[in-house]
Amino acid sequence: MKISILFLLALSLFITNCGPKAFVKGQYDDVQRENLLNDQWSETDMQNAVKDLVASLVNHPSIANAKTPPVVMVTQLQNKTSEHIDTQSIMDMFRVELMNSGKIEFIDKEARQDIKDEYDYQNSGVVSDETKKGPGGQTGADFIVNGRMDSIVQEVGKDKTVYYKMTMNLTNLKTSKMVWSNYKQMRKQFKKKSVGL
């Protein structure tokens, strides 16, 4: 009888522990703390890559020696990895860090249609002549920034390495010459562990 009760208790405990798990308690974490929770692109990778590439760009003569802050338009980052990576978030961070340097001014490519719609509205007769804006006064960009993400994944036995390379380019819009290009490399190592019941 005691053995049966112990067996039933052990079985119920086993079944309870094998059920679906939910994340029920959380806490804030330092976003600057290294994150290697899994083998995919992480915010730590993004922060490190952006920081190094921004430092390289703002120290390039095209930016560092400019008499007035050049006007830049950030375009796209191609994702050539096998992962789903939010490249817009990377480019947003890149733009913010460049803007915080105080050495560059920006054109907002995403706002163009909104600006055009607002011009149309302001010139429809409902806005006073003294305050309305219109086409012809925008500032043209001097440079565009774009880039590409690549990765190589290698697995042998229980060992896995993930290599990332993020390349960024600065192109002069007047001459279409690429005036700056640099990349950030990182390789992460992982070991597969057996998961028991």
> Is residue 33, in this structure, part of any structural domain at all?
no
- Look at residue 79 in the predicted model and tell me its pLDDT: 96
The upper half-sphere exposure of residue 196, i.e. CA atoms within 13 Å in the direction of its Cβ, equals 1
> Is residue 17, in this structure, part of any structural domain at all?
no
**What residues make up the domain containing 84?**
38-191
Q: 3-class SS at 54?
A: helix
- Measure the CA–CA gap between 133 and 183, rounded to whole angstroms: 41
Which secondary-structure segment (H or E) carries 120? helix 112-121
> Is residue 27, in this structure, part of any structural domain at all?
no
Question: Which pLDDT tens digit goes with each residue over 113-163?
Answer: 899 899 999 989 899 989 988 888 888 999 999 999 999 999 898 889 999
> Is residue 26, in this structure, part of any structural domain at all?
no
> Please, which residues have CB within 8 angstroms of residue 72's CB and are 6 or more apart in sequence?
98, 104, 105, 106, 107, 141, 142, 143, 144, 145, 170
The pLDDT of residue 11 is above 90: no
CATH of the domain at 150: 3.40.50.10610
| Six token digits for residue 117 | 């719609």
Please state, in angstroms and as integers, the Cα–Cα distance from residue 193 to each residue in 85, 157, 162, 196, following that order.
Answer: 25, 11, 17, 9
Question: Which pLDDT tens digit goes with each residue over 80-104?
Answer: 999 999 999 999 999 999 999 999 9
Number of domains in the chain: 1
- Look at residue 172 in the predicted model and tell me its pLDDT: 96
> Is residue 165, in this structure, part of any structural domain at all?
yes
Catalogue the E-assigned strands of 19-158.
71-79, 105-107, 143-156
Nearest to 163 by CA among 190, 196, 197: 190
> Is residue 23, in this structure, part of any structural domain at all?
no
Question: Which pLDDT tens digit goes with each residue over 15-33?
Answer: 656 656 666 666 666 666 6
Q: What is the DSSP letter of 65?
A: T
> Is residue 112, in this structure, part of any structural domain at all?
yes
> Is residue 7, in this structure, part of any structural domain at all?
no
Nearest to 99 by CA among 167, 50, 38: 50
